[in-house]
């Protein structure tokens, strides 16, 4: 459990979207950066390719990105796991061919005041579902499926979310429309806060304590860049 929960809660807000956070030229640069970066992980089970923005790539774009973040978030520091070569990273590019399941990106350091998480869509295809429900343990993938619970990955696997919220059956219509890659019983007690349809140039900002997942509406693939922050 995170230690400074009260402070973390004070800094929480509703998720929000900054339209035109970056311009057309910057979108292009981000897409080129993704192409140029070395592969970090190719997970064939989850059909996802991950690359970390290591500090030695595109320093000019790093400045632009960081300064733009400073306009919308105050007193923060980037908080992203290092690359496999031990270099600092500004965040993670994820190219996914399959919807990512329910999880939270709270990290593993309970001393930190975890703050906002950002998603920069680099494709127009993609949809992200942010739930009102929050979690104050470590980064966890939530599932009631035995196989998934036994799977190994960066996140902890757990079904503890089932007992944390109201236990109410999840809305049938919303399940069919956005979340049919999840078992409906895995969504017990969850309430959708925001359905965010990806748009190039936008930035989605939400709390690291918000449960979230991809929507099931993914025809081909999507590419996005996410960063995590902590409060200073």
Cβ of residue 96: shortest distance to Fe ion, in angstroms? 11
The tokens for 139 are: 């980064």
For Fe ion, which is the closer residue by CB, 69 or 105?
105
| 65 vs 167: CA distance, rounded Å | 40
CA distances from 161 to 67, 97, 112, 189, 228 (A): 36, 26, 22, 9, 22
Chain residues binding Fe ion by CB under 5 A are 105
CB under 8 Å to 86, separation ≥6 — which residues? none
For residue 97, the Cα-to-chain-centroid distance in whole angstroms is 16
3-class SS of residue 109: coil
For Fe ion, which is the closer residue by CB, 48 or 61?
48
Cβ of residue 46: shortest distance to Fe ion, in angstroms? 12
For Fe ion, which is the closer residue by CB, 105 or 182?
105
Cβ of residue 212: shortest distance to Fe ion, in angstroms? 6
- How many Å is the Cα radius of gyration of the chain? 17
Tokens 């399959």 belong to residue: 98
Among the listed residues 59, 197, 26, 29, the one whose alpha carbon sits nearest the alpha carbon of residue 124: 197
Cβ of residue 181: shortest distance to Fe ion, in angstroms? 15
Tokens 């703050």 belong to residue: 115
For Fe ion, which is the closer residue by CB, 40 or 105?
105
Cβ of residue 154: shortest distance to Fe ion, in angstroms? 11
For Fe ion, which is the closer residue by CB, 105 or 207?
105
Closest CB to Fe ion belongs to which residue?
105
């Amino acid at each position: 459990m995170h230690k400074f929960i009260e402070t973390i809660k004070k800094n929480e807000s509703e998720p929000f979207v900054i339209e035109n956070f970056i311009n057309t030229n910057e979108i292009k640069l981000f897409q080129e950066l993704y192409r140029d970066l070395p592969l970090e992980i190719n997970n064939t089970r989850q059909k996802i390719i991950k690359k970390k923005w290591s500090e030695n790539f595109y320093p000019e774009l790093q400045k632009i990105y960081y300064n733009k973040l400073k306009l919308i978030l105050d007193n923060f520091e980037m908080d992203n796991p290092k690359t496999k070569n031990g270099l600092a990273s500004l965040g993670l590019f994820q190219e996914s061919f399959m919807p990512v399941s329910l999880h939270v990106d709270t990290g593993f350091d309970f001393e930190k005041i975890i703050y906002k998480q950002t998603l920069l869509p680099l494709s127009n295809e993609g949809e992200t579902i942010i739930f009102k429900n929050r979690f104050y343990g470590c980064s966890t993938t939530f599932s009631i499926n035995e196989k998934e619970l036994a799977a190994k990955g960066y996140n902890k696997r757990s079904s503890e979310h089932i007992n944390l919220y109201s236990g109410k059956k999840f809305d049938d219509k919303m399940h069919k429309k956005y979340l049919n890659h999840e078992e409906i019983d895995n969504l017990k007690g969850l309430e959708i806060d925001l359905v965010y349809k990806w748009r190039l140039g936008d930035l989605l900002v939400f709390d690291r304590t918000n449960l979230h997942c991809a929507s099931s509406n993914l025809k081909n693939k999507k590419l996005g860049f996410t960063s995590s922050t902590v409060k200073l």
